[in-house]
Amino acid sequence: MPHHTTSQPRPRQAIGICLAVVAWTCPPLTAQSLTQIIDREIGQHADGPVSERCDDGEFLRRVFLDLGGRIPTSAEARTFLDDRGEHKRTQLIDRLLASSDYPRRLQQFLTTTLLERRTDSKVTDAEWTGYLRETVAANKPWNELVTQLLFSEPREDKSLPPQARFFLVSGRADQHQKTRDIGRLFLGRDLMCAQCHNHPTIDDYLQADYFGLLSYLQDSPAKARTEFESVFNPGKKDTGPRLPGGQEVNIPKFEKGQEQEALKHRPRLLLASSLPRAENPLFVRNSVNRFWCLLMGRGLVHPLDMHHANNPASHPKLLDALAAHFSARKFDVRDLLRQITLSAAYQRSSRLPAGASEADVPPQSYRTAITKPLSPEQMGWAVMQATGNLQRLAAAKPTEKSSFTYKDYINGRIDGVPETLEDTIKLFVGVFGNPPGEPEVVFNPAMGHALFLMNEPLILNWLEPRPGNLMHRITQLKDQDKLVEELYLSVLTRRPTPQELEETAKYLQRFSEHRNSALHNLAWSLLASAEFRGNH
Amino acid sequence: MVPVTSHPDNQTQINDSRQRTHETSLMSHDPHACHGPEHSWSRRRVLGALGGGAASAAIGISNLLQPACAAPMRRKNKQVLFIWLDGGMSQLESWDPKPNTAFGGPFRAIPTAINGVHFSELVPETARRADKLALIRCMSTQDENHSSGVPRIQRGDPKNRGVTYPFLGSALAKLKPPENDLPPYVWIKPGSGGFIWQDAGFLGAKFGSLALGDGKPPIHINRPDSITDALEQARQDLRRKQNQRFRKTRRSSEVDAYDTSYEMALQLMKRHDLFDDSLLSPRDVERYGTHPLGRHLLQARRLLEAGVQFVKVNSYHWDTHGDNFNMHLDLVPQIDKPFAAMIDDLDDRGLLDNVLVVLMSEFGRTPKINSRLGRDHWPEAWSVMLAGSGLQRGMVLGGTTDNGAWCKDEAFDIGHLFHTVFRCVGIDPEKTEYDNDGQPLPIAHDDCGPIQQIMI
């Protein structure tokens, strides 16, 4: 298939506007839904064996994790699996998007994506997470959120609005880190290599782009012009604020007495009003690419911050369609996620097609669903839910300012185990999270994760019978098959196969003298399995 | 002992905090990102994306799948003990004394096991083992600052190519993937532990060091008492079976990677004896000393005996800008005793041919004594003590002028030292290079070569 070459912004812009107009004004008969376009484009480029539709168990777990950030209870699982309704999948998607889990899930995803585990103590965690959850719950348009993150008017009382955290986190005081992160996170371009010279291998990434962006991040209009020089081609140049592919902004000089006028030309204010717009294709494409990756496990452009002519999208027309749709729908995130989850591409199984090997289904073909790693937060919620300890921990009163830190915990400076949901999640983030500044996109199993699940007293404690939790429930069940079913539904969100039932029966028979230990081991082995660790 | 802090009047050393760790010193002082760690990572990703690496980038299981090195580079059993006395031990109060000179200070010199060679009276134990050691008295290096000097030296002070070079332990973990399941790079240090991914520079986080705070093992290495051997076996068997079943119909590389992380963890857990202090002989405890440096060196010996490829031991507070002589009187025996014990023990166990021992700081100290009876930083002429694999025994290379201020004839820089270290563990810097996703990089400074005179 011929790849799209990057064209100039103007014709693309014009096409985008036309498409948007068409989408709004034409009746459904002539315009395909985004869902249909997704399946058409993925299908047309399949060129090989394709996995079948995922079964209900796969779908249930996947969509609960993706949209709710957790796994279902065994009761929720049973209800869904036994439902004979024709539209149950669509209804589940809509239910999750309307639930209180969705804002929390998106807030966790956005925090990790936008802050990359960098920390700040000036804005409280509660303020930041509350701000994002409200944003998601209200389905605030994505471009509005980005606008606020890029610039917020200082308050009268000098207090910090929650969105200020974006620039306050560790490392982002440095103007180069700021420039790089804005480029990566909002434009899909890692311009780091273009700081000292034009990018050595990517023609699209110019040093002028880097400094154009850096100029936008200066504090005052007077500083908004930056000088630069390539280490390869001597000769000083300078630039005012300019977005890659965009026009340079000319900020006039302001004299004394013109303070009011100068305020209107604060570079970051200008950045906030020009970057997150439908007219900026880099912004739109990067945005839809990241949301696509959230659900599908891989960006259409991958890596996510490497959009350029020599790294085209795996499905260029699809990326265009996603971008056009997102713009036309005024950056409605909930709608975008809904359209993707309704597609057959999303609902494909992660089981290989019959007779096919791993090599036959490269990830970018989407012929087989990509297994996504559970984020540290998802892992925490899933382990708590699976072991039936979530309710208890969620009910524990959150402390005003917990002194629990992961670092103290692993260095043995904290007695006991975390006792609130918040602290528990801090522990999981510490164990499973990446160092600050490293995106969490790929699956990186580490020895420390395994040691944690094997030997952490908290985990083993959760697997001790306690009123209301999993082990308590299953130790009460006399019918063996019912017991195993409850276990599998609770931990793996599916029913056991006949073979699994048989083997488990044999195993429990063998250890009938130590039934409770045997059950504990069984539960642990499911929790420690690859099937649990991945979102497949 | 009250630690001496930089006198506020002494402007040249003002920026160096006593509490710095090497992690904070990673914050680049250079104005350009070309010198930052991120430069290298993004280069790797860029070049990877062009090279069709996009597909494999989606499944990041490379954590556990180490690329094979060319066969000529691999040698069995070569290990490194890297002892870092942070702050700058005075060469005049240890390996290169100048008694009865203007700058000599109050301590005398004593004979060593090498005819004609004298060390400071503060190192009597090491002096007795000098015939097993190789000493360089003519190090002359570039950086007089702690914060930039420490990581710079531990990264081999490479030429600036816009990438952050790995610390020596990370470099060896990459260039010589160990043939056992133990962590390749362990760092025993005071304070807190954890996984120090920053040491790895452009190589990637997985080549970082496993830091053991106060020499203690990672918190989850010990199986709780509630889990007996039988239970462990049972639950692991169940887990493996689950994964086998799951893997039958799915992409296997992720399942395999996850399985491997468990197998590695189980291997490490088997070696909890390495951290069980009740297994130590009282004699060893006495010989190494009960202060942290002594205890940590004893812990290091256990890890080396077990086969850990690179063990680094840190001691802090050697930066004696004031009251230099009292402080060295206190500090130097803390290294002298356990270092001598270590040399004895390695030799007794037949390990001295396989283990390369490096004992150094980021620079030496000024011959000139300042107004607070202290010595300040002096990279111009100082000493590095070595022993073991690939080196001559009972060798002293180079010397300093009568007052100790300058190297007399030849002088060597960090680049030379790294060339030497690599060769001593069986890696040829002429034939080996890093492949930073298509960008070839020398493993040691291209303008330097090995210090042949001390090598066998």
SS3 of B269-318 = HHCHHHHCHHHCCHHHHHHHCCCHHHHHHHHHHHHHHHCCCEEEEEECCC
Contact B38 A521 (CB under 8 A): no
Q: What percent of chain B has pLDDT over 70?
A: 83
Residues 13-32 of B with CB under 8 A from A: 32
Distance CA A180, CA A184 (A): 6
Question: Taking residues B37-65, what's their average pLDDT?
Answer: 34
Q: What is the dihedral of CA A496, A502, A506, A508, to 10 degrees?
A: 30
pLDDT recorded at residue B53: 31
What pLDDT does residue B60 have? 31
If one compares B62 and B391, the residue with the highest pLDDT of the two is: B391
Does residue B16 register a pLDDT over 50? no
The letter for the amino acid at A189 is R
**Is the CB of B195 inside 8 Å of chain A's CB atoms?**
yes
- Mutation target vs B (from A116, A305, A306, A454; most B CBs, 10 A cutoff): A454
Residue B50 forms contact with A (CB below 8 Å): yes
Cβ within 8 Å, pair A450-B34: no
Residue B13 pLDDT grade (very low, low, confident, very high; cuts 50, 70, 90): very low
> CATH 3.20.20.60: does it fit domain B78-222+279-454?
no
Looking at residue B283, its pLDDT comes to 97
Q: Is the pLDDT of residue B128 over 60?
A: yes
Q: In this structure, how many other beta carbons lie within 10 angstroms of the beta carbon of residue A203? A: 11
Pick from A209, A263, A282: nearest CA to A241: A209
For residue B254, the chain A residues in CB contact (below 8 A) are 371, 443, 530, 534
Among the residue ranges A328-342, A391-405, B47-61, B288-302, the one predicted with the least confidence is B47-61
pLDDT (0 to 100) of residue B9? 36
Q: Looking at CA atoms only, how far is residue A351 from chain B in angstroms?
A: 5
Note whether B242 contacts A526, CB cutoff 8 Å. Answer: yes
Name the pLDDT band for B58 (thresholds 50, 70, 90). very low
Question: Taking CB atoms and an 8 Å limit, are B251 and A435 in contact across chains?
Answer: no
Q: What's the burial of B202, exposed, middle or buried (CB within 10 Å: 0-12/13-18/19+)? A: buried
Of B197, B254, B265, the CB nearest to A371: B254
Q: Kindly state whether B242 is in contact with chain A, defined as any CB-CB distance less than 8 angstroms.
A: yes
pLDDT in tens for each of the 536 residues of chain A?
344 444 444 556 666 565 666 555 544 455 789 999 999 999 999 989 999 999 999 999 999 999 999 999 999 999 999 999 999 999 999 999 999 999 999 999 999 999 999 999 999 999 999 999 999 999 999 999 999 999 998 889 989 999 999 999 999 999 999 999 999 999 999 998 888 888 877 889 999 999 999 999 998 999 999 999 988 888 999 999 999 999 999 999 898 899 899 999 999 999 999 999 999 999 999 999 999 999 999 999 999 999 999 999 999 999 999 999 999 999 999 999 999 999 999 999 999 999 998 888 999 999 999 999 999 999 999 999 999 999 999 998 877 677 888 888 887 788 888 989 999 999 999 999 887 888 888 887 777 889 999 999 999 999 999 999 999 999 999 899 999 999 999 999 999 999 999 999 999 998 888 888 899 999 999 999 999 999 99
List CB contacts (< 8 A) between A201 and chain B.
Answer: 46-47, 50
**Residue A303, C-beta contacts closer than 8 angstroms, at least 6 positions apart:** A441, B45, B49, B54, B57
Chain A neighbors of B197, CB-CB under 8 A: 435
- In eight-state DSSP terms, residue A67 is I
Cβ-defined contact of B213 to A411 (cutoff 8 Å): yes
| Strand B209-213 relative to strand B194-196, pairing | antiparallel
B-chain residues near A177 (CB < 8 A): 38
Residues of A in contact with B38 (CB under 8 A): 177, 180, 192, 437
How far apart, in whole angstroms, are the C-alpha atoms of residue B234 and residue A532? 19
Q: Are B391 and B356 in contact (CB under 8 A)?
A: yes
What would the two tokens of residue B350 be? 């037949």
B262 to chain A, any CB pair closer than 8 A? The answer is yes
Per the listing, tokens 């249930």 go with A60
Residues of B in contact with A450 (CB under 8 A): 261-262, 264-265
Smallest Cα–Cα separation from B306: which of B333, B338, B275? B275
Return d(Cα A117, Cα A125) in angstroms, integer: 12
pTM of the model: 0.75
B55–A363 C-beta distance less than 8 A: yes
CA dist A150 → A252, A272, B68, B234 (Å): 22, 5, 45, 54
DSSP labels, A229-266: --SSS---EEE-S--TTSPPP-PPP--TT-HHHHHTT-
Cβ-Cβ contacts under 8 Å, A451 against chain B: 218, 220-221, 265, 268-269
Q: What is the pLDDT of residue A17?
A: 63
Q: Which among B49, B239, B253 has CB closest to A528?
A: B239
Distance between B143 CA and the closest CA of chain A, angstroms: 24
| Segments in A266-420 forming alpha helices (H) | 267-274, 281-296, 316-328, 333-341, 376-386, 390-395, 406-410
User: Concatenated DSSP letters for A279-290?
Assistant: T-HHHHHHHHHH
Distance in angstroms (rounded) separating the CA atoms of residues B377 and B425: 31
pLDDT digits (tens, 9 = 90+) for A237-248: 999 999 999 999
Chain B nearest C-alpha distance from A24 (Å) = 36
Nearest to B58 among A350, A370, A410 (CB): A370
Do A467 and A475 touch, CB atoms closer than 8 A? no
Provide CB contacts within 8 A for A256, sequence distance 6+.
Answer: none
ipTM value for the complex? 0.88
Q: Residue A403: is it exposed, middle or buried by C-beta count within 10 angstroms (0-12/13-18/19+)?
A: exposed
Q: Kindly calculate the radius of gyration of chain B based on its CA atoms and give it in whole angstroms.
A: 23
Query: What pLDDT score does A465 carry?
Result: 94
Percent of chain B residues topping a pLDDT of 90:
60
Nearest CB partner across the interface for A192, out of B33, B193, B224: B33
